[in-house]
Amino acid sequence: MEPAARKLKPATGQARLPLFLRAAWGQDTPRAPIWVMRQAGRYLPEYREIKSKASFWEMCRTPELAAEITLQPIRRFGLDAAIIFNDIMTPLPPMGVEIEFSPGPVIQKPLRSLKEIEALTVPSQAEIAPFLEAAIKLARHELEPTGTPLIGFGGAPLTLATYLVQGSGSKDFEHFRVFLRTEPKAAHLLLEKLTELSIRYLKAQIEAGAQAVQLFDSWAGLHDQRTYREFALPYNRRVFEALSGLETTSPNGLSEAPRIYLAVGSSHLYPVIQELPCEVFSLDWRMELGQIRSFFPGRTLQGNLDPTVLLASLPVITEEAERVLQGGLGGPHIFNLGHGILRETPPEHLAHLIRVVRAFDRQQANQR
């Protein structure tokens, strides 16, 4: 295990570091910080208002719009972290791949052969997403008064490859899984290129001001341990290693951005995933945090409320959230959902969840 995962950054001024960053760097904070995946999105009327006037790509590629959407949930709820609005697909068009959203990503010409993969270019860091760097700078400026930290993100190489080869979302992703078996050389070349792309995409975000980064491996859970070890682990490791020690600007001067890894439906992979050099593991709801902790000794756990709980009544939300908070007590914990918030979620249910999480005193609960 990489010792870097355990050190607190920066060494001075820790008390002034926002709660989210303290927890991400491994501190057992007095209460769990909370943010939620997809906190800027279709469940918010103010998001739908912008969406009615702009296409999804326009929203991603216009810095003022992307920054505004990022801030919407912060203004409404005052969460403990903001996540820059964009998409894991953002760096792919500059490689030469056409993508539309309907509402999930649709690849015009799915990649299936070595020749098509050889034709992909890896754009330079400056070419990938200058609009995203501008959006991050705008959002950081707006967030300054509240001190809310800003998270950058990208897709893990395997998850990006899943979409590029399958062509769209799917239940079984059968084209992709067959491709890994029949074209392993082409698959490794694709993953090599996507690894380099992801490193540049995430570095650009940290250099622009992202104070933490999350790597989304939404489809890792499709695979068995052996396949994950061959096609995911080495590439994810390279991405995280390349981001180690990168400095971002913060109110306290320069500090490193903690690295968060999210895999969905992947409880069977935890014994392998734990080898990744990152500070935070974001987990879905399929196992309780208390049971998971032993797989990730000394690391911060993020999660893991089932997003459908937010569709239930307020007393159910309280009960389920407290169960998650209780499970998170054995070490550093960042409260989040196990996956993105659902479109049908009433915003006041998220407001209630935030109140429940903020009212939960971890020190007191630990003594009970």
DSSP secondary structure of 187-241:
HHHHHHHHHHHHHHHHHHHHHHT-SEEEEEETTGGGS-HHHHHHHTHHHHHHHHH
From 18, 26, 33, 41, residue interacting with ligand CP3 (rule: CB under 6 A)? 41
Which range, of 84-92, 108-116, 188-196, 231-239, touches ligand CP3 by CB under 6 A?
84-92
Q: Across-strand partners of 82? A: 150
Q: How far is the CB of 160 from ligand CP3 (least distance, A)?
A: 9
Q: Which of 80, 87, 284, 320 binds ligand CP3 (CB under 6 A)?
A: 87
**Alpha helix (H) ranges present in the chain?**
19-24, 45-51, 56-61, 63-77, 114-118, 125-128, 130-143, 157-166, 174-182, 184-208, 225-231, 233-243, 270-273, 289-292, 314-327, 347-359, 362-367
Binding mask 152-191 for ligand CP3 (x = CB under 6 A): -x---------------x----------------------
Q: Which of 13, 45, 96, 103 binds ligand CP3 (CB under 6 A)?
A: 103
Nearer to ligand CP3, 140 or 293 (CB): 140
Is 231:180 a contact under the CB 8 Å cutoff? yes
Q: Which residues, in sequence order, are CB contacts of 146 under 8 Å at separation 6+?
A: 74, 78
Closest residue to bound ligand CP3 by CB: 218
Return the residue of 14, 27, 42, 308 that touches ligand CP3, per CB under 6 A. Answer: 42
Instruction: Provide the minimum distance between the beta carbon of 353 and ligand CP3 in the complex, in angstroms, as a whole number.
Output: 16
- Least Å distance, CB 343 to ligand CP3, is 6
**DSSP code per residue over 27-58:** ---SS--B--TT-SSTTSHHHHHHHTTS-HHH
Least CB distance to ligand CP3 at residue 340 (A) = 4
> Where does this chain touch ligand CP3 (CB under 6 A) — which range of 39-47, 176-184, 191-199, 315-323?
39-47
**Sites of contact with ligand CP3 (CB under 6 A):** 37-42, 51, 56, 83, 85, 87-89, 101, 103-105, 153, 169, 216, 218, 264, 340
